[in-house]
Amino acid sequence: MNQIRVRFAPSPTGHLHIGNARTAILNWIFARKYGGRFILRIEDTDIERSTVASEETILDDLKWLGLNWDEGPEVGGDFGPYRQSQRLQLYDSHLNLLKEKGHVYPCYCSEEELETKRQAALQRGENPRYNQKCLSLSKSEIKSLEAEGRKPAWRFRVRKGEVKWDDLLKGEISFDSEYFGDFVIVRSDGMPVYNFAAVVDDGLMKITHVIRGDDHVSNTPKQILMQEAFGWPLPKFCHIPMILGPDRTRLSKRHGATSVDELRAKGYLPQTLVNFLSLLSWASESGDEVLPVERIIGEFAINRMSKSPAVFDIVKLNWMNGVYIREMDLALLVQTVQPFLKNPLIDLRDESKLRKAIELLRESVETLNQFSDALDILYREEVKLNDDEAIEIISRKSSQKVYWAFLRSLQNFDSLDGGTFRTIMKQVQKEAGIIGKDLWVPIRVALTGKIHGPDLAGIVEILGKEKCEKFVRSLVN
């Protein structure tokens, strides 16, 4: 085919999981790298679990990540509709094609009967594949079963032999079709199962490359058999490794946030997540880790993707997000961070102060939601001393000397800025005869309640003379 066409096909049964977001990102990057088409398809045939709210959340998260789709919901395209629930007639017509070719047969076995046989096979140590009981049913047997009110599912008749493909990442993979046997493609209620619907959609939408998680490897031979039955060209398959938690078990809720909306709510930036999640499967030849999306697209290559499971390292994610926060345009950062400022003391109306405060504190935060607590030291009316070491510092005689000298020197100035503060501290050093951390740390504790923090001159400039005097005076004996 002349143009690469890839798809991301989420099921709207919940939030966009990190693993699925990584799959979407890699498909989108691959399409953009080679001038292809990125198709979004909603697989909503699970009627009981699929919801409109989940679909809207997924679409919103994809837009937030910057993953614009070329075809799909809200966009349209030549191969729609792009929701499986709106494609049921297509599945029916393609089931009929398989019936005409003799590739499927009706199965009247109930779920209870199948489960009983499955358990019996497992107890015998056998592979619990279907025994083709319904393949040889006579017309009279079928009539009797239907008289009982049974409606058939439809099973795909699997050819004997090996099914193999050359995976773009894993190399040659093969399955003996005896391993899985004849499988259901349409349930007794008429709804297509995942493998059948995905094959019909991929074929009709002319998908050239299927890039997905390696938990789908076992689905691929079944899909290949159906693609062969329809006489369609096989897409190229690329199965990427799963994402693990720090303990190297499958990523789950016990590891923390596992969905895009959770990470978004915690204050991670979309460019961070695209960068970080792309590196869970791929690495730049340069060795650089903080990469704008344009570089990722330009440098991306499947042969540089890892075959091993990727570990979701929250420490690395936090570090990377901090880098993006520090590099972000200040005006944009101020706008972006405001929804995260839940502290009632922060006056959003004073844009000048807010801008200075965020510029000062951006060096010390890693996520947007950390700004709310970090800004507290610049907006509160009294200093909170919760640290035992800080409390001990203010009680020292040397600290008290610093405070008195600071207050006396402060009276010589009408206002405070960074330059004035440094002048005052030189005078304090000379008068009190105290240098180094014994000079600076007591002032930091008095103004912030903390031993460490951002540039003191910047803090003083934002607090202003009145507050600085008030805070220091509250600690003198």
In order of their start, the domains of the chain are 88-240 (3.40.50.620), 262-377 (1.10.1160.10), 381-473 (1.10.10.350)
Determine the pLDDT at residue 426.
Answer: 96
**Sequential pLDDT tens for the chain (477 residues):** 479 999 999 999 999 999 999 999 999 999 999 999 999 999 998 888 999 999 999 999 999 999 999 999 999 999 999 999 999 999 999 999 999 999 999 999 988 888 888 888 888 877 788 888 899 889 999 999 999 889 999 999 999 999 999 999 999 999 999 888 999 999 999 999 999 999 999 999 999 999 999 999 999 999 999 999 999 999 999 999 999 888 888 877 777 678 999 999 999 999 999 999 999 989 999 999 999 999 999 999 999 999 999 899 999 999 999 999 999 999 999 999 999 999 899 999 999 999 999 999 999 999 999 999 999 999 999 988 888 898 999 999 999 999 999 999 999 999 999 999 999 999 999 999 999 999 999 999 999 999 999 999 999 999 999 999 999 999 998
* Region at 202 (left for phi over 0; alpha for psi -120 to 50; beta for the rest): alpha
Cβ burial 284-311 (10 Å sphere, 16+ → b, else e): beeeeebbebeebbebbebeebeeebbe
Looking at residue 1, what is its pLDDT?
Answer: 47
Annotated catalytic residues are 253
SS3 of residue 7 by DSSP: strand
Residues in Cβ contact with 380 at an 8 Å cutoff, skipping those fewer than 6 apart: 345
CA–CA separation, 2 vs 40, rounded Å?
20
Token pair for residue 334? 């101020």
What is residue 262's predicted lDDT score, i.e. its pLDDT? 94
Q: Is 0.85 surpassed by the pTM of this model? A: yes
